[in-house]
Amino acid sequence: MTSKIFLFGLLVQLSLSLERCLASNVALTANNSSFSDILVESSTRMIKNDSLALDGQYYIGGMNRISEYRAKKNINDAYSRFYDEDFIKSVKDSNKYSFIRLKNDIQVFLVSQRSSLFSSITLGVRVGSSLEPKKFPGLATLLSELLFYDWKRPDVGRETPYDLFISSNSGIFKTKVAPFLTEYHLSIKQEYFSEALIKFCSYLKSFSPKRIHLDPAMEALQSDFEALMGMSFIKLKQILKELSVEGHVNHGFHMGNMKRLMANIDFDTEVLLFELIKFYGSYYSSNLMTISIVSDKSIDELEGLARTFFDEIPNQSKQLITPFDLSNEIIHPYIDLNNKVIQVKSAEENTYFTVIFPIPHQSPLWKYKPAEYISFFFTDYSNKSLYSYLRGIGIILGLKTMIEVNDNGFSNFIIRFKLNSKGEKAIVKILEITLSFLKLIKEVSISETIINQIRKKRQSILEVSIDALYSDLSRKIVNTFLRTNCSPPEVLHAGVSMNKIEFNHVKEIIDHMKYDNLILILEKKEFKKSASNILLSSQFFLDSKWKSARKSISSFFRSVNTAFHRTKVGTFPKFLKEEYLGGEYLLEDIPSKVIEVLQSVNSTLANDILKLQMPEIDPKFPRNFVIYTEDVPKKEFPVSLYYAVKEFKQAKNLTEISLSEASNNSTDFSYLNLSAPINPRDLVVALSTQKMDSISRSFCYLPTSFNPDVMISVRLQIPNNPPKEFSCPEKLAILMFLFQNTLYDVLPSHLNENFSFERSYHHWELQEFFYGIEFSWRGYSSIFPDSLNEIANILSIFQTSIKQSSFQNAKQRFQDIINSFKSENDNLRLLSLSYQLLDPGFMKISRLEDEMSKITIQSLIDFANFFIKNFSISGSVLGNATPIQIKYYLSSFVNTVRGMDSSSLELSLDTTENMFNSTKQVNSDINEDFNTLGFEEFSFEEKGRMLRSGSKKSTSKDLKNDNNNQIGKPNEVTHTNTYNAMNIENLGYTRNSFSDMSRLPYNYSNSYFFYINSSKNSKDNMVLLQIHYGFYSEQNLAFLQIVSELNSYKYFIEFSDKVCPDCSLKVLPRIILGKYLVLEFKLQSPTKNIRELGELLNNFFLTYYSRPSKIISKSEFNKAKEFLLLLSRNARLIENNLGGQITSKTNKIYYEGSESEDLFTLASLHMGASKHTHFSCSWKKDYLEFIDALTFDQFYKYWQYFGSSSKLFISYQSQNTNYELFESLESYLPQGFTKLLFAESLYDINEQQDIFNT
């Protein structure tokens, strides 16, 4: 038992070290730039350290602040109650919020979240590892493991409470221990939440650890952290903790505490159990607890539950203990490391040089975050930035900035350089340039406009979207509240908001970033000389060639001198070894000569000699008419190269444009590490000669000047006209699924994350199957060329790499998918049924099983041969990568895959000659002037549609002649949506068999189908009404989105006059097969039959949608517009385009963020639908401009199309019906509809219509 307790102490301390690494705002390996820095203070980790953000004021540094902090450290204990209208939240947030204080002083957040399937509770106790008894390091972590022991883990071989309650109900239970906070989080299905609260409270009220649980708990902790012990960044953090000043709380938690445990090895199990109970009794007091509950119940119900279950937890009135109480008035743990250089042996191949600027008692800065502004100045990637300069002179491979706000009460600003061999010899030079640039930032006058633009660029937008905020919402609320000391109403935005700032606050941070307040860290796998020798032999900026040679000679003799001296451990080359994690390091003073050089640095070096400039927020186009990709286009959305160049030409009135990189290849894009020289004029776009490379033009580009990362997506698709043996959609889908899965098995593990494909489908989703494969690289552009080449080599020999076992496994996975179709729930079946009624190519289960039985491994090999020889290619690039590079790498890629000569490669089916003047593929109605887009472009004309009249032959032209008052509808094809017009790219195979209901004869334009649900488990009866709105375009989608955002449920309740209290109504637009748009109404009820539901829904539609009604009031219209604009613009504020606040109603303030530089956000906003809409990019410009320009009168006009649109009505009746009622329901037909007797009825009608039209 003693040995196990020894192990436990070690492992728990590992746990604590790791938790603090992961829980602090940023680890030394975090991504930089806007994404990582935003993540630092806006993710689940939120802001660390509940220190000096008091009364909305900003404090930094100084012993004089500690007493003031202590006086106000319980500032949030003063709050008692807040209501939903008090909370500052997003306009998109439909949740209801409340804050209460129970009679025992527990603070409780209540969230009523109607849309969620799961409920959750998070308990935060303001006690952590920092308060453990010195003899028992790790006690807090062991307690967290034992308090809810039965819920923590499954026990292999037997059923435990975890299996019976948590796991069986799709639940999650997890704990987390930080130095000053312990969290317990439970999430479970809504219907089991009340039971979960009972159990949760019972565990919390009666902690009595059992002896038999000690060993398993310790073993569990061991298994959790064993695999992580070898991580370099954990070792580095532990080294820094060991080197922290003794007496600071940060020093007290390194692995050296194990010595104390060993010195007290005489305690036994009973003593440990006693200490656990004592620790719980001492600190688990209700006044130190905060709870957040999220559920679909009402606020009143949740308040009742909270008071019922948690009112009786004892309140021992414990005093909150802070980092400063335990740190003996020490300002910063690194005060003894000032002007030191730490040499660390790393397991990584790369060399890293890190500069740490200690910042005493930096506040959490949840209101201002001045350090974020400094990070922007370092990581902006315009042509004249610091990063570009250092890259341009070839001494760094990467630059990251990090802001660490530690739970233990201190902060650091960290700059981390990834060095090449040249950079290893220029470390002091890098330091000189960095310090000079910091002085330049401090001295320069920066306008308020630029500060606001930086703020908007750096700020996260409420966790990217409100949906992201919903993930673990209860945990985020507790974390933000306890770590920022914000007031309860501010808890939703405190962790992610960046309020306006005075630039003096930024300068206060820079005051700490100077030559006499820094720590240097050198990390490398192997060192040939000491850190001091490396610095002394480093290039200084003003070194002459003779000085550099002399330093090299001096360095050589110093190395020789060291080699002949006996050295002790701690002196190069005998590294010290951290006892418990094994990190190897040396600590030396920075040589005085280096300090002298750094002391003499001023802004002149950066400003006058290096010509570094403050980053431009809105760079202008170059005047030499050579376009770089970052200038194409000057837009907020992606654009194909063809349209970008065309638009730029028209804007500048040019006759010819050359698109190239700079001749020295030193632009932002050069960090893609080109493996071979590229002729700068390799890609020339001359509109007069109509030339453009087909590969480059098939990609979309979204340049970002604020983010160095690149997100590249490459899609390979089956060509438009596959041969006869692969033309069957079922066979093609199965073969592609098998190909995707077997390819995944062949790829090495490090490439698996770059390969994206769907693992499972619902039946209706299979109809929108993506017939291709997609590879993507996100945030790690330097590996793109090598991994793309590796994938090419694998594809070139794929046919010989397929294993029988992999093939059989893939077949079994698809068979499992087919089997899952047979047990889908009612909602999924209903959606699949609507596809089946409309689509003659619907992939039925029987046909899928038939094709599945015929496919052999040879079939897959034949298909792979066909695909590899004939795939079409397209993709997207977010970030700064040039078309030249795309052409170069992808030409090489295709050449390798197909074994072809890349000089003769042409991937597009269309020729370059008709590229720019194609009337065959590009709609001639496209407005030529891209910069004069007016609202008149969105004229909703109806072209080529069939009449809703008795004449089957009449057209829309006839309709206009017969009735001048006939209302048209939004564009159906390509007149303003440029991406719809972009058929110039070969975008691959799509199924074109979907029936267009607008072509149906008049008698069948409104079709009805009755379906009896044979499932005995079915509870609800449902009716589905689809209003067919023609072809997909962003404008059509925008119009239907506005319609769906109107308060339909309110008017339905009013219309139904409470005759259906258990009815559920949903109204939403849907894109079907990437081509057709429908407005879908779904009404369901467990008590009403389909006749009652059908009459109710049909009459509701006829009353409110088929003619003008009060549902389209101007106020509802404007509210829907405002919501969609905020949502689709990535929650950017539209008021003055500066940010701030939007006031929706009295005493209600909504905070919104600004455009995020997170590439994942950009991708989701701009590129999300490209696979399923069959266009190379999803273009949000038309969507936004349409909504923004749409007036109420125009909306009212377009609305009237609903009165003449095609409709599909489906009734879905459960089988729990008596015979007489069933007969009545079977004969039911909604008013104005024609009944379809069987699912294929529409196919026959369409075939007849085709013959008739011929």
Q: For residue range 281-317, what is the model confidence (pLDDT) as tens digits?
A: 999 999 999 999 999 999 999 999 999 999 989 898 8
pLDDT score, position 743? 94
pLDDT score, position 1119? 84
Q: Distance from first CA to last CA of the chain, Å, rounded?
A: 89
Q: How far apart are CA 811 and CA 760, in angstroms?
A: 13
Q: How far apart are CA 281 and CA 288, in angstroms?
A: 12
pLDDT score, position 1247? 52
Res 1156 pLDDT > 50: no
Q: pLDDT band for position 524 (50/70/90)?
A: very high
In contact, 738 and 860? CB cutoff 8 Å: yes
Residues of the chain with CATH 3.30.830.10: 2-28+93-326, 335-459+505-609, 712-878, 997-1253
Q: How far apart are CA 974 and CA 643, in angstroms?
A: 14
- Architecture per CATH, domain 2-28+93-326, reads as 2-Layer Sandwich (3.30)
Give φ, ψ of 823 to 5 degrees: -120, 25
Q: pLDDT band for position 1015 (50/70/90)?
A: low
Q: How far apart are CA 898 and CA 871, in angstroms?
A: 10
Q: pLDDT band for position 548 (50/70/90)?
A: low
Interval 658-678 mean pLDDT: 32
pLDDT score, position 667? 32
169, with CB counted inside 10 A (0-12, 13-18, 19+), is middle
In contact, 582 and 414? CB cutoff 8 Å: no
Each residue's pLDDT tens digit, 607-621: 766 665 554 443 333
Candidates 766, 378, 428, 472; CA nearest to 600 is 428
What 3 state SS string does 109-150 have?
Answer: EEEECCCCCEEEEEEEECCCHHHCCCCCCCHHHHHHHHHCHH
Interval 1002-1031 mean pLDDT: 81
Candidates 875, 887, 909; CA nearest to 693 is 887
b/e sequence 260-291, b meaning 16+ C-beta within 10 Å: ebeeeeeeeeeebbebbeebbeebbbbbbbbb
pLDDT score, position 101? 95
Interval 428-443 mean pLDDT: 89
- Architecture per CATH, domain 712-878, reads as 2-Layer Sandwich (3.30)
Each residue's pLDDT tens digit, 1025-1078: 999 887 777 788 889 989 998 888 888 888 887 788 888 899 999 888 777 888
Please state, for a pLDDT cut of 90, what percent of the chain lies above it. Answer: 19
> Rg of the chain over CA atoms, in angstroms?
33
Check residues 230 and 331 and name the one with the higher pLDDT.
331
Contacts of residues 923-926 at CB distance under 8 Å and 24 or more positions apart, as own/partner, are 923/973, 923/974, 923/975, 923/980, 923/981, 925/974, 925/975, 926/974, 926/975, 926/976, 926/978, 926/981
pLDDT score, position 517? 94
pLDDT score, position 471? 53
Give 1217's DSSP letter: -
Each residue's pLDDT tens digit, 101-128: 999 999 999 999 876 778 999 999 999 8
Res 480 pLDDT > 90: no
Q: 271 CB contacts (<8 Å, ≥6 apart)?
A: none
Each residue's pLDDT tens digit, 1164-1200: 454 444 444 444 444 555 677 788 888 888 888 888 8
Please state, for a pLDDT cut of 70, what percent of the chain lies above it. Answer: 60
Q: Which of 565-579, 802-816, 1049-1063 has the highest mean pLDDT?
A: 802-816
In contact, 300 and 192? CB cutoff 8 Å: no
The residue with tokens 């609903």 is: 1202
The residue with tokens 């002085």 is: 439
- SS3 state of residue 170: coil
pTM of the model: 0.51
In contact, 1201 and 967? CB cutoff 8 Å: yes
- SS3 state of residue 375: helix
Interval 218-225 mean pLDDT: 68
Q: Which of 246-260, 282-296, 1225-1239 has the highest mean pLDDT?
A: 282-296
In contact, 377 and 391? CB cutoff 8 Å: no
Dihedral sign computed on CA atoms, order 491, 494, 499, 501: positive
Interval 327-351 mean pLDDT: 88
pLDDT score, position 691? 39
Q: How far apart are CA 458 and CA 691, in angstroms?
A: 40
Give me the amino acid identity at 705. Answer: S
Give 630's DSSP letter: G
- Architecture per CATH, domain 335-459+505-609, reads as 2-Layer Sandwich (3.30)
Query: Number of helices and strands (H, E) in the chain?
Result: 48, 30
Alpha-carbon 725 to chain mean position:
41
C-beta neighbour count of 462 within 10 angstroms = 24
Q: pLDDT band for position 66 (50/70/90)?
A: very low
Candidates 128, 140, 130; CA nearest to 251 is 130
- SS3 state of residue 274: helix
- Of 656-660, 838-842, 1135-1139, least confident by mean pLDDT is 1135-1139
Tokens coding 983:
């058929």
Q: pLDDT band for position 813 (50/70/90)?
A: very high
pLDDT score, position 78? 64
Tokens coding 1208:
């599909």
Interval 577-589 mean pLDDT: 85
Q: pLDDT band for position 1149 (50/70/90)?
A: very low
pLDDT score, position 634? 36
In contact, 1033 and 980? CB cutoff 8 Å: yes
Q: pLDDT band for position 92 (50/70/90)?
A: low
Give 551's DSSP letter: H
In contact, 572 and 562? CB cutoff 8 Å: yes
Q: pLDDT band for position 59 (50/70/90)?
A: very low
Q: What is the largest CA-CA distance in the chain?
A: 106
- Of 18-27, 321-330, 688-697, least confident by mean pLDDT is 18-27
DSSP alpha helix (H) spans, 53-128: 66-72
pLDDT score, position 956? 31
In contact, 104 and 312? CB cutoff 8 Å: yes
- Residue 740, CA distances (Å) to 123, 716, 726, 764 in order: 43, 11, 16, 20
CATH number of 997-1253: 3.30.830.10
335, with CB counted inside 10 A (0-12, 13-18, 19+), is middle
Candidates 931, 952, 892; CA nearest to 678 is 892
Q: What is the DSSP string of 57-107?
A: ----S-GGGHHHHHHHTTGGGG--EE-GGGS---TT---EEEEEE-TT--E
pLDDT score, position 267? 57
Q: How far apart are CA 693 and CA 630, in angstroms?
A: 19
- SS3 state of residue 461: coil
Res 467 pLDDT > 80: no
- SS3 state of residue 282: helix
Dihedral sign computed on CA atoms, order 918, 921, 925, 926: negative
- Of 76-80, 678-682, 721-725, 1056-1060, least confident by mean pLDDT is 678-682
Res 797 pLDDT > 80: yes
pLDDT score, position 787? 83
Res 345 pLDDT > 70: yes
DSSP alpha helix (H) spans, 803-882: 804-821, 826-838, 845-854, 857-870
pLDDT score, position 534? 92
Tokens coding 1015:
């499932």
Q: pLDDT band for position 441 (50/70/90)?
A: confident
∠623-626-631 over CA atoms, to 5°?
A: 80
Give 1033's DSSP letter: -
Candidates 884, 938, 899, 687; CA nearest to 793 is 899
Check residues 278 and 1141 and name the one with the higher pLDDT.
278
Q: How many residues does the chain have?
A: 1254
pLDDT score, position 703? 53
In contact, 542 and 363? CB cutoff 8 Å: no
Q: Which of 421-435, 551-565, 664-678, 923-937 has the highest mean pLDDT?
A: 421-435
Res 458 pLDDT > 80: no
Considering the chain, what is the average pLDDT of its residues?
A: 69
Q: What is the DSSP string of 1036-1049?
A: HHHHHHHHHHS-HH
Each residue's pLDDT tens digit, 262-283: 344 455 778 888 888 999 999 9
Q: pLDDT band for position 1221 (50/70/90)?
A: confident
Q: pLDDT band for position 431 (50/70/90)?
A: very high
Peptide bond into 573 cis (omega under 30): yes
